[in-house]
Structure 1
Amino acid sequence: MKIIKISVLLFFAISTVLYAQEAQETNQELFKFFGDREGNEFRSASGKPGHNYWQNSADYKIDVTLDEENEMISGKITIDYTNNSPEDLEFVWLHLEQNRFTETSRGTLTTPIQGNRYTGDMDGGYDISNVKAVSGRRGTPSSKHIINDTRMQVFFNEPIEANGGTATISMNFKYQIPVKGMDRMGQLKVDDGTIFAMAQWYPRMVVFDDIRGWNIEPYLSAGEFYLEYGDFEYNVTVPYNHIVVGSGELLNPGDVLTSEQQSRMDKASKSDERVYIITPDEVGDPSKTRPKQSGNLTWKFKIENARDVAWGSSPAFIWDAAKIDLPSGRKAMAQSAYPKESDGEDGYGRSTEYSKASIEHYSNMWYEYPYPNAVNVAADIGGMEYPGLNFCGYQSKNKSLWGVTDHEFGHNWFPMIVGSNERLYAWMDEGFNTFINFYSSEEFNGGEFADDLDETRAYVSWLTSETREKIATYPDVANTRNLGMVAYMKPAMGLLMLREYILGHERFDNAFKAYIERWAYKHPTPGDFFNTIENVAGESLSWFWRTWFYGNGNIDIALDGVYPYQGSYLLVLSNKGEVPMPVKIKVTYADGTDEMVELPVEIWQRGDSWNHLLSTGKEVEKIEIDPSKITPDINGSNDVWPSTYYKD
């Protein structure tokens, strides 16, 4: 009688869950096409640049002088600008980011009283003079301009013609070099002199694009940069005893290096191990390190198809280098410049090793590094990236130094090669970079400094906190305590789930590489990324973009029950969270064998519960959802049957 009663109860339970599967409300809205991603002539629905995609360009020639005694910069800049847009331009906009370092700048006035990472000096700002703007070859010069905070509007007497019209903008500039430059540039005083880390150091063109026209958001704090591509020639004049390292290629080594240093540089270009250009013992002795013993020297650099340049200058640099091997057979060079305070095998003594490994990894896995040098500079900066050059914390050691070096060099792919708008979409560079850093760290030296991005459930407390914010939150708006998650970790976890759980390696890698190749040296939007991944991988992912990148919900896929049914097992599943997921289930049998069962995400289109018939003649011992724990499921206790197997 007892057996009959249990069977009847089980029959009613199974009947109830089977009926519920057909009767529940659907999740049609969750799976609808996400966002404004329809194609047009400029941006294809397939994710490619459209057949009429256009992009303006800016080529720079800059002469700048460092006045070490007065901690000043003065220079002249000439910009050759090409208007490839379909409309005439009566004016252009430039970034004047040194104007952030004033008492009345918007960035200063929007910094909390207690300060934060982006607190900067307030005694700087540009002194701009001799402005001249000419459109075309025969235009009449205009000096009319308006400076407002960190933006400068320059007017022309005749518009720059559409579809290839050109203009030249020139001016003189000078400013006081900040000591604290928002953790992106500035000064560091060490025993052998001052390290000048120079970034955002010249007027830079604002991007004019087909999405927003002029992208004139001010320079406030967390929001970084969005810049046009072009070729740069820049000459840096410094005191004779300084060493200068910069983005791109040094054009005049014969003028600024001794014959011994040139010989060492040549040796380094052929060496897998670091070669000193300036040894620790030589630092501070210009008679051994400098080709002249008084006055100034001018260092000349060039970089092509870049969006920015930065440089470092100091008499305190130890300098070493080694070659980088690239997939095409081309060679580049890893270089490190650092003071004695940073030296040692636990510090910058391994910087060039780290730099070489990082560049080679990303080149082999994703897209070949385009620049002739990759320079790591020790400075009083936590970590900041520019084309071909990083500034990293001078006190960093061991895993910390590997991590910051690898991360900043990873930025050469996002956003230096793939030029997304960092000021609006920090996740498209910081998040993508954090994702590729995971695989680089896994590979380096057999996992010496392996990353923990795949331990996604370590972040559940933040994912469930009431103060969490969406990935899509603009960086200047996000709470600084949340920025590490919304810009870095959560989007990186999203890509990790795509590669390791949703799409698999081959489909994801094909799509991600296609995104890089399509948008190299161009300006993609989030929609261009979404469309590329979907079209190349062959998967509709609107449900994922909507919930993970633009939503604030969580993953909680549950195994609510396991019932014997028609000689097999009925698995009762539910989606208790806001983010649907494909379901990967590991079934372990009493005989010691196991198998993986994979259910598509479409099971959740019909509602938040689903029943799956596990057809087997074996006795089941254990069933577990996502046994590798790739997804940051917020409640692991409902992932395992029987529950006695659950371990927090």
Structure 2
Amino acid sequence: MKRIFTSFLLSASICSAALAQNIQNNPGSNHGNKFEQLGTILSTPNEQRTASGAPGAKYWQQRADYNIKCELDEKNLKLTGSETITYYNNSPDPLTYIWLQLDENEHSSINNSGYQSSSGMPRATTTQNVDRNAARNGDADNGLGDVITRLTDATGKKLSYTINKTMMRIDLPAPLKPGAQFVFNVDWNYKITDRMTVGGRGGYEFFPEDGNYLFTMTQWYPRLCVYSDFQGWQNHQFTGRGEFALTFGNFHVQMTVPADHVVGATGECINYSAVLSPAKLARYTKAKTSATPVEIVTLAEAKAAEKAPATAKKTWVFQANNVRDFAWGSSRKFVWDAMGVKVGGHNTMCMSYYGKEAYNLYSKYSTRLVAHTIKTYSDFSIPYPYPVAQSVEASNGMEYPMICFNYGRTEKDGTYSESTKNGMIGVIIHEVGHNFFPMIVNSDERQWTWMDEGLNSFVEYLTEERWDNKFPSKKGAAYTIVDYMKLPKNELEPTMTNSENIVRFGPNAYSKPATALNILRETIMGRKLFDYAFKEYARRWAFKHPTPADLFRTMEDASGEDLDWFWRGWFYGTDPVDISLDSVKYAKADVDAKLPAMRQRGAAKVAPPAVNDFEDISKVRNRTDKNIRFETDLDTATHDFYWKYDRGMVKVDTAKFEAMVKAQPAPDAYVEPLNDADKAKYNSKYFYELNFTNKGGLVMPIIVEFTFKDGTKWVDRIPVQIWRLNEKTASKFYIHDKEVASIKLDPMRETADIDESNNYWGKMPEPSKFQLFKQKTGGPVRGQSSGINPMQVSASK
């Protein structure tokens, strides 16, 4: 029986030691556990959260409005700000204090979260790492983190406060009663860090080639923690991994920056007429109704700005309503393009910001991808509600309301590898998609990372599939998670694990839940039932704070499917799928044929096209769905070298490529005879009994493909409930009118079975490749290729 830590539980009301386990009524038996209802570990329904998974009649959530002024000092790499916050207590509880997040303290040597992991002496390192670790090991203040210079109420009276690492508690002068609001002022500043060496999501990147900076201003202002009905204050320390729990509100933000900087931010700029030249303002107006991206700041203008930095300053003003956060990017390096897209009955400005280093990729794809993403996510959840959606190239990958920071840079000659292009496509779709999960469907990322990253990775997969039917998605299809699922148990933890305690963060929080949901959609529920229920979840919890229980209950409530076994296995457990076809009993009148011998598996200069070697079931179904039209088929502007390369439309000079590279420094079946009476009665019938073992422990449907000797095939999809009365072994009897040549389990690799070698009877299939999880390595710039790429040696570039 697997331990379910208190951090997994879905309600503060059940976080006691007595209820800290995944309780099973019959743990010593081989049945009645995998299919047991989740009632013992889900939160108790109440007036705030109903048993159906919908918000209750007395559901409530807090609100915080911000009026912020800040100034970016590029010369001294410092940000100074002041803000007025209006906090609304919509809870039924009087509050004697409120909590704020000071995320910049992540970088402080004295006010960081204090979380540490095991470390050892490296064989080689950099001077920056030595300096950074020396600062962490001592008590000296490195000068980083938030400096609070003033904290007062609306009348100017000082407020008492306490900083606990990355959190700040403000003690209220009087209890804040239900329905009341509290206005207070905070002045602060901090030293902006070099994001490329110090790490983190916000900071600056310096470009020594042209002497300019690119700023990503994220987690940059003191902001309210969430106070909720299911856990009170969410004031878990910020370690840099677990992301954010945030309160909705309205933002009015003024940013004073160098006059030649271009600023992209959450919300709409309300003073473009003051900060843009007439020519740029005219281009912006044109972009609103353009079907293709319009450059508001051109490449030539961006390059000119790099060469002659301004000394004057300008103030950009942005307004964003009903958002949970605010972020912005600022640089004189930015090319800026945009186009308007109709979504949900209104026009959304899809925009991108990028330096010359990313021009050949971002000018062609970024804004088109932003538009494709918000349209596709709207189809699968709710119509995109905001007026703006933006992508910023910053050698990064992080999301905020209406704006995100991504990667994808070309070589100096303008070419790029296919992996760079596909990585850029994936990261833009992923980060723009976060507008829906968790920026709108606002789950607690710090507690349940998978509700943020996993759900978003799932819809990212659906969106990639609709971008290009040949796109090599790395997560979502069941077979892509196999190598993670087969790892030793000491390297795994349940998906329902707090983000700080996950060893293999990517596959656990991103890939496994995305795969689980895709299996639920394609193999267990079917697209129609799943899509309806998933949209209902998004509709119910848009602009609210859902928990896992709300998702689980809504999916069942809206579909009429009992899925407790699925949540229990895929989200609360670590068991893999490994269903073995142990034996086949075969009987036929007057038939004494020997089974064909099984063949053994076998093994496998210019990089081949990056097309998955296995056509997963989603791709196959999407091609036959008359309602689906792929974006790259509709928009020929997306056809680059690799689009043609994947389809055999261009050729590569392999000799030139090689020269450039060199120049660089199953069990046997058995027969059971029939008696004479059966021979007479069933002479034209073929009888088979298939015996299965659940070796992995995770119960799943059994998908059986019969290949008959005449070459035809037939697939039987056995529901998961076959394991209901015996969770370890199962069998099924078949009668066919044709003789079977071979039997194969999970032919489309839909169930994430970790051992395909025990899935066959009869003739073995041709050997296939499998994918491995491997940590990316390389320099500090994310999303840039290295070495020689096929585009550089194309005969038809």
Q: CA offsets per residue over residues 578-611 of structure 1, 9 Å max, x none?
A: 1101222222333333332222212212112222
Q: How does 1:458-477 map to 2 (within 5 A)?
A: 458-466=480-488, 467-477=491-501
Paired residue type of 1:342: A
Residues 305-342 of structure 1: CA deviation (Å, up to 9, x unaligned): 1100100111111111112231x331111111111122
Name the residue aligned to 1:391. Answer: 405
Residue 17 (structure 1) aligns with: none
Structure 1 CA distance for aligned equivalents of residues 118 and 74 of structure 2: 32
Query: How far apart, in 2, do the equivalents of 1:601 and 1:353 lie?
Result: 41
Name the structure 2 match of 1:33.
Answer: 37
User: Structure 1 stretch 532-541 or stretch 257-266: which is displaced more?
Assistant: 532-541
* Cα displacement (A) at 1:169: 2.1
Aligned residues: CA RMSD: 2.5
Q: Is the 8 A contact 1:68 1:239 kept in 2?
A: yes
Q: Equivalent residue for 2:152?
A: 132
1:152 lines up with 2:175 in the alignment: no
Query: What is residue 486 of structure 1 aligned with on the other side?
Result: 508
> Is the Cα contact below 8 Å between 1:82 and 1:165 reproduced in 2?
yes
- Mapped to 2, the partners of 1:85 and 1:142 lie a distance apart of 26
Aligned pairs for 1:205-604 (under 5 A) are 205-285=224-304, 295-326=312-343, 328-344=344-360, 346-381=361-396, 383-393=397-407, 395=409, 397-444=420-467, 446-447=468-469, 449-453=471-475, 455-466=477-488, 467-479=491-503, 482-564=504-586, 567=685, 568-604=687-723
2:761 matches 1:641: yes
The one-letter code of the counterpart of 2:759 is: D
Contact 1:278 1:289 survives alignment (8 Å):
no
Q: Please state how far the C-alpha of 1:141 moved relative to its aligned partner.
A: 4.7
- Find the aligned partners of 2:301 and 2:723 in 1 and give their Cα distance: 67
Letter in 1 for 2:266: S
Please report the TM-score for the alignment, with normalisation by the length of structure 1. Answer: 0.89
Q: Deviations over 1:422-473 (max 9, x none)?
A: 11111111111111111111111x3353414355334433222222332222
Paired residue type of 1:221: G
Query: Structure 1 pair 331/306, CA: closer, same or farther in 2 (3 Å)?
Result: same
Which of these residues, 719, 734, 747, is aligned with residue 627 of structure 1?
A: 747
Residues 49 and 56, structure 2, Cα contact 8 Å, conserved in 1: yes
Q: Which amino acid aligns with 2:342?
A: D
1:192, 1:315 within 8 Å by CA — same for their partners in 2?
Answer: no
Matched residues in 1 for 2:517 and 2:289: separation? 36
Structure 1: distance between partners of 2:119 and 2:278? 53
Whether the aligned pair in 2 keeps the contact of 1:339 and 1:378 (CA below 8 Å) is yes
Residue identity in the other structure for 1:177:
I
Offset, 1:145: 0.9
Q: Distance in 1 between matches of 2:694 and 2:110?
A: 51
Name the SS of the counterpart of 1:218 in structure 2: coil
Name the count of aligned residue pairs.
Answer: 611
Distance across 2 between alignment mates of 1:619 and 1:173: 79
Specify which of 590, 606, 615 is matched with residue 725 of structure 2: 606
Deviation at 1:647, TM superposition (A): 4.1
The farther-off stretch of 257-266 and 175-184 is 175-184
Contact 1:150 1:219 in 2 (8 A): yes
Instruction: Work out whether residues 475 and 481 of structure 2, in 8 Å CA contact, stay in contact via their aligned partners in 1.
Output: no
Residue 185 (structure 1) aligned with residue 185 (structure 2): no
CA distance in 2, matches of 1:301, 1:366: 27
Q: What residue identity is the alignment partner of 1:426?
A: T
Confirm or deny: 8 A CA contact 1:320 1:335 kept in the other structure. Answer: yes
Structure-2 separation of matches of 1:341 and 1:112:
37
| Corresponding residue SS for 1:54 | coil
**Structure 2 counterpart of 1:86:** 92
* Aligned position for 1:72: 78
> Which residue number in structure 2 is paired with residue 4 of structure 1?
none
Contact 2:305/2:333, CA 8 A, preserved across alignment: no
Q: Which amino acid aligns with 2:493?
A: E
**In 2, distance between residues paired with 1:504 and 1:30?**
22
Amino acid at match of 2:264: V
Alignment partner of 1:342: what SS?
helix
Q: Distance in 2 between matches of 1:248 and 1:539?
A: 40
Rounded Cα–Cα distance in structure 1 between residues aligned with 2:741 and 2:218: 61
Unpaired runs of 5+ residues, structure 1, are 1-23
**Alignment match, 1:165:** 180
Deviations 1:200-233 (A, max 9, x none): 0001100001111001100102100010111111
Deviation (angstroms), 1:285: 4.2
> Does the Cα contact within 8 Å between 1:237 and 1:299 map onto a contact in 2?
yes
1:45 aligns with 2:51: yes
Report % sequence identity: 36
- Alignment check: 8 A CA contact 1:133 1:156 kept: no
Distance 1:231 1:298 in 2: 19
How many angstroms apart in 2 are the aligned matches of 1:237 and 1:544?
52
Counterparts of 1:635 and 1:283 in 2: how far apart (Å)?
A: 54
Q: How far off is 1:265 after superposition?
A: 0.4
In the TM superposition, what is the alpha-carbon distance from 1:520 to its structure 2 partner? 0.7
Distance 1:204 1:365, change over 3 A: same
Cα separation, 2, equivalents of 1:238 and 1:448: 43
1:195 to 198, 214, 232: 214
Give unpaired runs (5+ residues) of structure 2: 1-27, 136-141, 411-419, 588-677, 679-684, 769-797
Range with bigger deviation, 253-262 or 461-470: 461-470
Residue 329 of structure 1 aligns with an amino acid whose one-letter code is G
Match of 1:16 in 2: none
Query: How far 1:577 sits from its partner (Å)?
Result: 1.8
Task: Tell me the equivalent position of 1:55.
Answer: 61
**SS in structure 1 opposite 2:145?**
coil
The one-letter code of the counterpart of 2:747 is: P
SS in 1 for 2:282: helix
Q: Return the TM-score normalized by structure 2.
A: 0.73
- Normalized per residue, the structure richer in strand is 1
AA partner of residue 636 (structure 1): E
Q: For residues 332 and 307 of structure 1, what CA distance do their matches in structure 2 show?
A: 19
SS of aligned partner of 1:488? helix
Quick check: 2:266–2:400 contact (8 Å CA) kept in 1? Answer: yes
Secondary structure of the structure 1 residue equivalent to 2:34:
helix
- d(CA) in 2 for partners of 1:610 and 1:332? 54
Distance of 1:540 and 1:505 partners within structure 2: 16
Q: C-alpha separation between the residues in 1 aligned to 2:184 and 2:763? A: 70
For residue 576 of structure 1, report the CA deviation from its aligned partner. Answer: 1.8
In structure 2, how many angstroms separate the alpha carbons of the residues matched to 1:247 and 1:42? 30
Instruction: Confirm or deny: 8 A CA contact 2:115 2:239 kept in the other structure.
Output: no
Q: Deviations over 1:63-98 (max 9, x none)?
A: 111111111111111111111111100110000111
